[in-house]
């Protein structure tokens, strides 16, 4: 039985506890109690989070777990001396010590990230690097494992961290089965970017959003201006003007970003050849895809695949 302790503290973020469901579902997939999860705090009792939700926690005491996961909280949370001491002592008794989102600040405060690679929510990554110069912050990662220490980006990335832990314990097939039961569209690898092209484009109208959603679902099409305009139920001239006004980009540039994002995900998955990825994402050939990757990401597809394997 692998024990997992989620550590909470005043004003923790409730979304971090969503990662505990990964271990719950893993038990169902394994058809045996592979994980035992508990919520802990320094003194135990009721603990109020930022979402005005209170959870019941058990005291840390001298209990140690196979995996400890520190939840995120404020922009740069500070831990009590008692919690810091517990985490330092846990390094000799615990297989894994993880942090979700800004929980990385607590690990850094305890000295656990010194001279290690780590990530956190992209909005506070620069703050972490400035506050703790001995931490090698990798701001654009979903999660990072450096030896015993695991850290993840913010919010939903805690689920990806937990899935990676399950994969580490029981293999890819079990992790994929857990992801499917959680109705996840894609199990993200550690090396994947924290940013989404659709989110960054931020269209203001439903019609432009519909065109982008259509494009993402039909990347193998030519996705000409006329085709996208039809999806938006606008004339080509109206669509081109509205698209640039709302996103600050031309439709062609936006489609290229969507294709690069989809190709990157396939390359990180590692199950397809570069030629297949280029075809499935509408680039037609690997050279066109290579040029697009250099424009958008500043690195060729082969580098993306190598980085994904490094963080797998």
Give the pair of three-digit tokens for residue 94. Answer: 């615990």
Which residue reads 């330092």 in tokens?
Answer: 88
Residue whose C-alpha is closest to residue 219's, from 267, 282, 288: 282
Q: How far apart are CA 57 and CA 14, in angstroms?
A: 13
Looking at the structure, tell me whether residues 10 and 41 fall in a common domain: yes
Looking at the structure, tell me whether residues 19 and 85 fall in a common domain: yes
Residue 250 has a pLDDT of 93
Looking at the structure, tell me whether residues 124 and 45 fall in a common domain: yes
Q: How far apart are CA 118 and CA 145, in angstroms?
A: 7
Residue 32 has a pLDDT of 86
Residue pair 27/95 in contact by the 8 Å Cβ criterion: no
187 in a domain, yes or no? no
Looking at the structure, tell me whether residues 210 and 245 fall in a common domain: yes
Q: How far apart are CA 241 and CA 219, in angstroms?
A: 22
Cα three-residue angle 99-110-49, rounded to 5 degrees: 50
Cα three-residue angle 267-271-275, rounded to 5 degrees: 60
280 phi, psi to nearest 5 deg: -65, -25
Quick check: is 16 catalytic?
no
Residue 202 has a pLDDT of 73
Instruction: Give the residue numbers spanning the domain of 232.
Output: 197-311
Which residue reads 């705090």 in tokens?
Answer: 41
Q: How far apart are CA 104 and CA 256, in angstroms?
A: 34
CATH of the domain at 243: 1.10.10.60
Cβ neighbors of 100 (< 8 A, separation 6 or more) are 16, 19, 69, 70, 71, 72, 151, 152, 154, 157, 158, 161
192 in a domain, yes or no? no
Q: How far apart are CA 61 and CA 82, in angstroms?
A: 10
Q: How far apart are CA 300 and CA 285, in angstroms?
A: 14
Catalytic residue, from 101, 144, 165, 232: name it: 101
Residue 155 has a pLDDT of 79
Looking at the structure, tell me whether residues 118 and 20 fall in a common domain: yes
Looking at the structure, tell me whether residues 161 and 262 fall in a common domain: no
Query: How long, in residues, is the chain?
Result: 312
Q: How far apart are CA 225 and CA 223, in angstroms?
A: 7
Strands (E), 123-167: 136-137, 143-146, 149-152
Residue 213 exposure: Cα atoms within 13 Å on the Cβ side? 9
Looking at the structure, tell me whether residues 9 and 151 fall in a common domain: yes
Looking at the structure, tell me whether residues 248 and 148 fall in a common domain: no
Cβ neighbors of 276 (< 8 A, separation 6 or more) are 266
Q: What is the pLDDT of residues 280-293, one digit of tens each?
A: 999 989 999 999 99
Q: Output Rg (C-alpha) for the chain, integer angstroms.
A: 22
269-308 per-residue burial string, b: 16 or more CB within 10 A, e: under 16: beeeebeebbbebbbeebeebbebbeebbeebbeebbebb
Looking at the structure, tell me whether residues 278 and 152 fall in a common domain: no
Residue pair 206/180 in contact by the 8 Å Cβ criterion: no
217 in a domain, yes or no? yes
Looking at the structure, tell me whether residues 141 and 203 fall in a common domain: no
Looking at the structure, tell me whether residues 216 and 128 fall in a common domain: no
Pairing between β-strand 54-59 and β-strand 45-48 as defined by DSSP bridges: antiparallel
CATH of the domain at 92: 3.40.50.880
Domain count, the chain: 2
Q: What is the pLDDT of residues 134-189, one digit of tens each?
A: 999 988 788 999 999 999 998 789 999 999 999 999 998 899 899 989 987 555 55
Q: pLDDT under 50 in the chain at which residues?
A: 190, 311
Q: How far apart are CA 167 and CA 190, in angstroms?
A: 12
């Amino acid at each position: 039985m692998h024990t997992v302790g989620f550590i909470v503290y005043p004003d923790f973020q409730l979304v971090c506890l969503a990662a505990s469901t990964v271990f719950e579902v893993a038990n169902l997939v394994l058809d045996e109690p592979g994980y035992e999860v508990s919520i802990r705090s320094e003194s135990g009792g009721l603990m109020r989070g930022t979402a005005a939700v209170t959870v019941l926690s058990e005291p840390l005491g001298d209990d140690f777990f196979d995996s400890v996961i520190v939840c995120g909280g404020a922009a740069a949370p500070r831990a009590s001396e008692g919690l810091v001491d517990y985490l330092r002592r846990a390094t000799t008794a615990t297989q894994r010590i993880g942090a979700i989102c800004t929980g990385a600040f607590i690990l850094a405060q305890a000295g656990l990230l010194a001279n290690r690679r780590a990530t956190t929510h992209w909005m506070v990554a620069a703050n972490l690097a400035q506050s703790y110069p001995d931490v090698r912050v990798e701001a654009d990662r979903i999660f990072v494992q450096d030896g015993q220490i695991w850290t993840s980006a913010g919010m939903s990335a805690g689920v990806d961290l937990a899935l990676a832990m399950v994969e580490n314990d029981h293999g890819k097939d079990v992790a994929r089965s857990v992801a499917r039961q959680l109705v996840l569209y894609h199990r993200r690898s550690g090396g994947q970017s924290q940013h989404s092209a659709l989110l960054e484009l931020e269209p203001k109208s439903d019609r432009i959003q519909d065109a982008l959603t259509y494009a993402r679902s039909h990347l193998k099409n030519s996705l000409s201006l006329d085709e996208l305009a039809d999806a938006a139920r606008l004339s080509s001239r109206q669509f081109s003007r509205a698209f640039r006004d709302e996103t600050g980009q031309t439709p062609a540039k936006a489609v290229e970003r969507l294709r690069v994002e989809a190709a990157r995900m396939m390359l990180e998955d590692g199950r397809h050849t570069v030629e297949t990825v280029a075809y499935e994402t509408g680039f037609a050939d690997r050279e066109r895809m290579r040029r697009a990757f250099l424009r958008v990401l500043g690195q060729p597809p082969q580098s993306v695949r190598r980085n994904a394997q490094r963080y797998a």
